[in-house]
Structure 1
Amino acid sequence: MPASAYITGLGSYLPGEPVDNDAIADRLGGVGPGGDRIKNRILDSNGIRQRHYALDADGQTTELNEELAVKALQAALADRGIGAADLGMLACATTQGDLLIPGFGSMVHGRLGGGPMQVLTAAGVCASSLAALDAASAKIRLGDHPRAAVVGSELASRWLHRRRFASGKPSLDAEFLRWMLSDGAGAVVLEFQPHPDRPSLRIDWVRQMSLAHEHKVCMRAGMSGTDPVAGQTWQDQADVASAEQAGLMHIRQDTRDLAALAEAGLQQFEELVDIGLIDLRHLDHVLCHYSTNAFRDIAFDGIRARIPGLNTDRWFSNLETRGNTGSASIFIALEESWRTGRFAAGDTVLLAVPESGRFSFAFAHLTVVEPRPGNSSSGVSTHASTAPNRRSNRP
């Protein structure tokens, strides 16, 4: 039997109470001159109705990014019924950790505890979580570790508060992300065998593809324009205050490139269909991370035109209620789908994550499997919760 990796525990963490669209400006410190029109336009387009911030009413950070990650990891470990000491590897993904040095993975491990383990920090933007999943599942398959944990975590709100824009009127590319991003973390536990007492998610394959050789930078922070120039990045300024004054510390996205991102993502999807990795006849669920409903609509139009056999009712996203949490989004959606009984034994699940940073895409294919006969928990206690094992929302 070929070596496999299985998701046997899932967890997520969203800080604070949900913040609806009426309260978002107050939480982020208000808007500048003419900002209400931009804000309302963006919120109408992205479709997000509520999100979570690790910020209090005064705009002060209430939790570290590493704390968000650890709380999601603890939830996933509890779901599996094991502790951090049972892990051989920890793979952490984020767009920006709390510190410049050390790496995010080391800081999460230090707070999580558990014992000696391999640690990986996957840096990037949204697709970094599936990059971390790819690395951890590969080590499981190789037999290097019997168990691993993967977490995607984001604390974007520190970059979005009004005080960040005090140097002048922000541009649309910065305002776009200000009303788009929010905080949260999602985590999974991986093992070399299925859960002993309930269904698991077998990782069939993970694929990542960068198209940076064809595209300029789209989502960025730390430079002006879309081409980095020696001596002109944020680290080349006289001090951090100068970099912020120059607007280099704003998170920006060129919204004009989103249609091209959707087009490139559809091409990547079609290639996976063409080579047989995705079988549209046996694809039960698609969990796609997208930043805005406008982006979803572009993708849906392209899919209907090119692949009429794919029913978009199979797609699931909790963007409207959980917000855009970057690298954490795909795990937060997967955890909610699993916990609410969306999947049944035998179902196939496709995870899809486009990343606008410099055009990269990540996909993962999962299959819901029953416990293997004779499988044991190796002395590890198991969680007593009832596993999803019904077709409550089968397309």
Structure 2
Amino acid sequence: MTASAYLTGFGSYLPGEPVDNDGIAARLGGDDPVTERIRRRVLAANGIRKRHYALDEHGEPTELNEELAVKALQAALDDRGIPASDLRMLATATTMGDVLVPGFASMVHGRLGGGPMQVLSASGVCASSLAALDAAASKIRLGDHPRAAVVGSELPSRSLRQRRFDGKRAGLDSHFLRWMLSDGAGAVVLEFQPHPSRPSLRLDWVRQVSLAHEHPVCMRAGMDGTEASVGSTWQDVSVAEADAAGMFLLRQDVSVLDELAEAGLKQFEELVDIGLVDVKHLDHVICHYSTNTFRDLAFDSLRRRLPTLDTDRWFSNLESRGNTGSASIFIALEEAWSTGRFAVGDTVLLAVPESGRFSFAFAHLTVVGPGAPQNTSTQNTTKEQ
């Protein structure tokens, strides 16, 4: 028997009013014919209809990334009904914080307040939020902390504005992400026991794997090219030289995204093969992805194993909330939870592919009622009886 961790509070924060596809240029700029053609091509493929930016109508920033994180955390704490002073650990995930130093978790803690607590800054891209969740849950299971909070937060819009692109080498590899990414934060509260008066999500297991040993860099910033070498990173040259070379633009090698989808599906099938996922008793799948094309590939793979697949099990809010990187999986989980999609006994799979250098994270959850047993095998993925 192994001690468990339970998700007992959920929160999200999306800055500003939703921006539709026709309103993006007003926020980010880039209304010339060539840029508009690229934008419409990317938007037609990804299926995103609305997203949020922490920018005003003139494209000026309105909030910091750490502020987005704190608002999502406060929403999760309010949902649980506890103050920040009850936390003993804070784990954060983001692609780029507001400052180089201190770490993002320290900045978020300073703004959130509360009392003394362990902090962890998980860096990376999309899968960093489940890495932070795994770390916090491990400390709870060890008995080091009774309660923790985890937040994924992203504010890429500051790097996506036209002024960052003027005079730079900016092909499809940079414009692709420019019309894909947006701002937001999602958070959860974890505890050693379920919520006392309503259902909770028991965290059964988390699995993360990097395939960086097999794949080159796909999503990048701060380097010239896809391979790092002395003299080719932003720290090897002056800031002005790095900026002129376009090193601060977020870029993605779109030619290898099909390989990312294939590798992610293979990782999922391995989880099925070793018995961690039972597709016949899997009630919900919440998957972060950047385009609806990946969703369709996943459906095809699942149907090979389960011809009667009910696609209503699949939940994503990509079209209405946008691609918010590490925050996406928690933003989707919060919406699924708050809209009543789950019932006691249901199982939930979270899936997050990360294109940075090909890594993948999965988490399996079971909905339990108040007063459920506090100790259970972390390998148990069957429904509550």
- Distance in 2 (alpha carbons) for counterparts of 1:212 and 1:23: 37
Q: Which amino acid aligns with 2:330?
A: F
State TM-score, norm by structure 2.
0.95
| Residue correspondence of structure 1 range 19-34 to structure 2 within 5 A | 19-34=19-34
Q: 1:308 to 1:25 in 2, by over 3 A?
A: same
Of all paired residues, the percent bearing the same amino acid is 76
Q: Which moved more, 1:180-189 or 1:366-375?
A: 366-375
Q: CA RMSD for the aligned pairs?
A: 1.3
- Distance in 2 (alpha carbons) for counterparts of 1:274 and 1:140: 29
Other-structure match for 2:249: 250
Other-structure match for 2:225: 225
| Residue correspondence of structure 1 range 66-81 to structure 2 within 5 A | 66-81=66-81
1:216 aligns with 2:203: no
- Distance in 2 (alpha carbons) for counterparts of 1:33 and 1:242: 28
Other-structure match for 1:385: none
Deviation at 1:169, TM superposition (A): 5.3
**Contact residue 259 and residue 298 of structure 1 kept, 8 A:** no
- Distance in 2 (alpha carbons) for counterparts of 1:34 and 1:278: 46
1:270 aligns with 2:279: no
Q: Which amino acid aligns with 1:125?
A: V
State TM-score, norm by structure 1.
0.92
For the residue of structure 1 that corresponds to 2:231, the secondary structure is: coil
**Contact residue 352 and residue 362 of structure 1 kept, 8 A:** yes
Q: Which moved more, 1:23-32 or 1:124-133?
A: 23-32
For the residue of structure 2 that corresponds to 1:23, the secondary structure is: helix
- Distance in 2 (alpha carbons) for counterparts of 1:309 and 1:5: 33
- Distance in 1 (alpha carbons) for counterparts of 2:230 and 2:302: 41
| Residue correspondence of structure 1 range 90-109 to structure 2 within 5 A | 90-109=90-109
**Contact residue 168 and residue 245 of structure 2 kept, 8 A:** no
Other-structure match for 2:362: 363
Other-structure match for 2:381: none
Deviation at 1:257, TM superposition (A): 0.8
Q: Which amino acid aligns with 1:368?
A: V
Other-structure match for 1:206: 206
**Contact residue 52 and residue 182 of structure 2 kept, 8 A:** yes
Deviation at 1:299, TM superposition (A): 2.6
Other-structure match for 2:179: 179
**Contact residue 263 and residue 299 of structure 1 kept, 8 A:** no
1:347 aligns with 2:380: no
Q: Which amino acid aligns with 1:337?
A: A
Deviation at 1:224, TM superposition (A): 1.8
The alignment covers a number of residue pairs equal to 374
| Residue correspondence of structure 1 range 133-172 to structure 2 within 5 A | 133-168=133-168, 170-172=170-172
For the residue of structure 2 that corresponds to 1:187, the secondary structure is: strand
Deviation at 1:314, TM superposition (A): 1.2
| Structure 1: unaligned runs, 5 residues or longer | 376-395
Q: Deviations over 1:300-338 (max 9, x none)?
A: 233334553543331100000000000000000000000
Q: 1:352 to 1:103 in 2, by over 3 A?
A: same
**Contact residue 136 and residue 149 of structure 2 kept, 8 A:** yes
Other-structure match for 1:112: 112
Deviation at 1:374, TM superposition (A): 10
Q: Deviations over 1:346-375 (max 9, x none)?
A: 000000000000000000000000011699
Q: Which amino acid aligns with 1:235?
A: Q
**Contact residue 258 and residue 295 of structure 1 kept, 8 A:** no
Structure 1 segments, 4+ long, off by >4 Å, are: none
| Residue correspondence of structure 1 range 38-49 to structure 2 within 5 A | 38-49=38-49
- Distance in 2 (alpha carbons) for counterparts of 1:72 and 1:45: 29
For the residue of structure 2 that corresponds to 1:362, the secondary structure is: strand
